[in-house]
Chain A
Amino acid sequence: MISFSERIAIVMFGLSFFAFLLYLLNRRPVIFLSFFFIIFTLAWRMSATMFIDLQGPVYSSQLARDIGPGTVSVIHSMAYVVSLLPFLYCFRPAAVEAWRADSQQSRASRGEITLSDITFVVSLIFLSFLFFDLVRRGSIPLFNRIERFDYAGGSAHRWMSRYENFLTFWWGLMFAAEFIRQRRFDWRMVGLLGASAVYALLTGNRFSAFYSQFSFFVTPLAAIVALKYKSSDGSRFSWINRRFASRAARLAVAGFVVVAAGTISLVIYNNLANVRGYVGDDIWRQAFNRTLIQPSEIGWTSFERVFENGQTQPSVAFHFLFEAPIDPARNTSIQYLMFATIGEPRTTDHLTHGFQFAGGFPEIFFELFGPYWAWPFLLGMGYIAAALTALVVRGTLRGNYASAFLSLYVLYGFYIMYIGGMLNFATTGTYWIKLAALAAALFIEAGLVRIGLPLMPWVVFRVPRHGWLKRLPLMRSGPSNS
């Protein structure tokens, strides 16, 4: 059991992390939105860790043992703050001001087809085919009680499952670009996001698909916040208060939150009760385990090994992660953590069935570098992630869409690291190709800006004054203003 003073420490460090997030939301919304995907995960995991620390011993069905109590929250909250700290430097007010001053606000004239128009048309065709293919195949997972990973679908479905995050990011990027350049909300992109969410719902997804789609969509929207609101302005949460000043806007947001929460709850219930066949209290127990135990159970056992029992084996961890993992094509960090927790045969068995535990960050750093040397590495990784996120926001503001997208593509490796502890993403050749592509894009954009040309033009082509294209509804009808 832990002492009363340790309970105070857990509460204090856990709450200080949430206070830090509140500070980001209040004063640094650009950071909060641009890194929302990870911030949400860290907040969730912090809650789960605090629960295990304070409520333990609690039974973990996956580990087949009791876990907790402990003081993991102290270490993990600091690790999260260390990871987020570089964002304060990369997104310092002076830097954001500089990006804002350089923001690309040239509008498209009447009759010009923009990148967002093209995006909308291509996406609409793709989504139409996706829904058509779903109906044509005859089995809709939501209604036919099929698990999402058991539904094979067609090639379009597989493509969507693999790249939906990047797709929704691109829609968000176009939404932000329309706002920055044309000063209007591009509801078409919101509609595409909604259609994509409906597709995820129909194909049996529970929570993660909606969360990741929404998070990737809002990532580039941080550029709008950077453009519109200055953190030194006004009172608490001024950027939220001003954006949702009207009663109608607040009601709309509240309605959206209620509908989203209700839908997700229903979908989770449907999955547990009708697809997986749990009954009675088991449904609640499963949801409870998934929410408050499973996100941090691996982190807790790792803490027990490294901090409480001194069972660190950095050389074994390194050898396993980078030289002889069970499955080198997948996240080797979680493989190691599973291997160290539940043993090799069960790990292999789980992996061959395509199943792995949640968690991995920051525990893999402590396993690999020990309880002291992990800190500088956490800070270093946080700095790289912050710099890449800054490139995304800067690229969105400046109209450098190629580098903004490629930055996210490179940043995605770090996202996986923060979600699942994966470190071997950097050992694959394709990752370095992505990095080279980003470097090339940044270099070319810097060269082209001197002659006033973009690498990825906002106006793709101009429609002739007369002809059938002119009569299409997607043609913009606003005033000519170049």
Chain B
Amino acid sequence: MVTTAANGPHEAPATDRRAVLQIVRLPNFREHAANDKLGGNAATSNLLDMFLEMPNLAVRSKVVIFGLLPLCFACAILFLCRPDPPVWRLRTTFHIGTSVAPAAVIDGSPNVRSTIEKYSSVVALISAPAFRDTIAGTSEFEAGSAGLSKRLVFGTLRAHALDNNAEDVEIDFTAASAADCRAAYRTIARQIEQRHALLFNENAQQLQTAIDDYSERAALLAKWKDAEVQPGYQASTEADNPKRGVGLIWNETREHLRQLEAARSFMTPTTFPPAAEIYVEGPLANNTVRMSALAGLAVILCAFALGWTLETRATRRRNTDT
């Protein structure tokens, strides 16, 4: 029987000279033999070599290196990676106001209402560097933490729309203190509300114009209608009568007017929750890098241990088989 190196150099019950020679020629044979001579543990050496193959080193040296490496890295993580200052995180959702399209009301379209500004435009606005810069630059941060808060707000402010909801937008950012979070939040709210107030007023103006227009029309039609019902009035021909069906049109106009006036109630401004009511998460102790790196080191050591165990069991099984 000729074994492969996988069976290890010590287990083969070689019966003929050729097989013995083959085993002696196997690459790790000399190394294992040397380790045995040194009184070292060949199995230990083999297991260490599985991960850190250093054939010129004695087993003791390998064990020392193997032990020192993780220790060294653990110390480096603990003593070199200092925790950053704690931060506060603010997450909240604001509601984009609703506008009304007068033309859609008159057409009887089901899509009468829409947001004052499309949510994607709002998200794009908040994500834009110019906006973030304005917020970071104009917010009234506390004197001690202003520098860090400016950097954090500029770097972390982001917004996204919620699923299947085109009216709510979530904003999320971090600052150096809860007060700074609220200061930045107030600035964001002010900026967006001012922008939307203009759009809201513009829309209200459009709606008012449409209402005025239809009121005038309704008044005019009412006059014509009154004239039509005067005694003695008679059109020469039916086709020449410009006020044919005035009553019908008057009714329609009055209905549109009613709908437009009713639509005014659909209009809502953009609203932000009051700053005092918003929960600011923190202080978030920034020890995450250190703890995560230690967790990574633990996983590396566990992987070594697992590989070690698997190889030990496999070696034992092979020994039992032979």
Contacts and interface: CB of A to CB of B under 8 A. Distances in A.
Interface of A: 3, 5-6, 8-9, 12-13, 16, 23, 27-28, 64-65, 71, 74-75, 78-79, 81-82, 85-86, 88-89, 92-95, 97-98, 100-102, 230-233, 301, 304-311, 319, 324, 339-346, 366, 371-372, 375-376, 378-379
Contact of A28 (B53, B123, B174): B53
B284 A372 contact: no
22 contacts: A3-B82, A65-B129, A75-B292, A75-B296, A78-B293, A93-B27, A93-B49, A97-B28, A98-B4, A100-B5, A101-B6, A232-B27, A232-B55, A301-B155, A309-B284, A310-B281, A310-B288, A342-B127, A344-B160, A344-B161, A345-B121, A378-B299
A12 B80 contact: yes
B159 interface: yes
A343 B6 contact: no
Contacts of B84: 308
B168 to A, nearest CB: 14
B311 A92 contact: yes
B314 to A, nearest CB: 9
Contacts of A372: 291-292, 295
A6 to B, nearest CB: 6
B138 interface: no
A343 B158 contact: yes
B140 interface: no
A93 B82 contact: no
A307 B285 CA distance: 10
Given A71-B81, A75-B289, A98-B4, A375 B295 contact: yes
Contacts of B76: 8-9, 12-13
Interface string B115-150: 000001101101111001000000000000000000
Contacts of A16: 73
B87 A9 contact: no
Given A95-B6, A343-B160, A232 B80 contact: no
A101 B12 CA distance: 15
Interface of B: 4-6, 8, 26-28, 31, 46, 49-55, 73, 76-77, 79-82, 84, 87, 89, 120-121, 123-124, 126-129, 132, 152, 154-156, 158-161, 163, 172, 174, 281, 284, 286, 288-289, 291-293, 295-300, 303-304, 307, 310-311
Contacts of B295: 371-372, 375
Nearest 5 pairs between A and B by C-beta?
A: A343-B127, A97-B5, A9-B80, A98-B6, A345-B124
Given A98-B6, A307-B292, A82 B303 contact: yes
Contact of A71 (B8, B289, B311): B289
Contacts of A75: 289, 292-293, 296
Which secondary structure dominates chain B's binding surface? helix
Contacts of B174: 309-311
A3 B85 CA distance: 12
Contacts of A232: 27-28, 31, 49, 53, 55
Contacts of B46: 94
B126 A85 contact: no
Most buried by A among B31, B51, B73: B73
Contacts of A366: 292
B50 A309 contact: no
B123 A74 contact: no
A310 B289 contact: no
A307 B124 CA distance: 25
Contacts of A344: 120, 123-124, 127, 160-161
A26 to B, nearest CB: 10
Contacts of A346: 124, 127
A60 to B, nearest CB: 11
Given A343-B126, A379-B303, A6 B81 contact: yes
A20 to B, nearest CB: 10
A94 B8 contact: yes
Nearest to B55: A232
A304 B155 contact: yes
Contact of A74 (B6, B286, B293): B293
B127 A345 contact: yes
A309 B81 contact: no
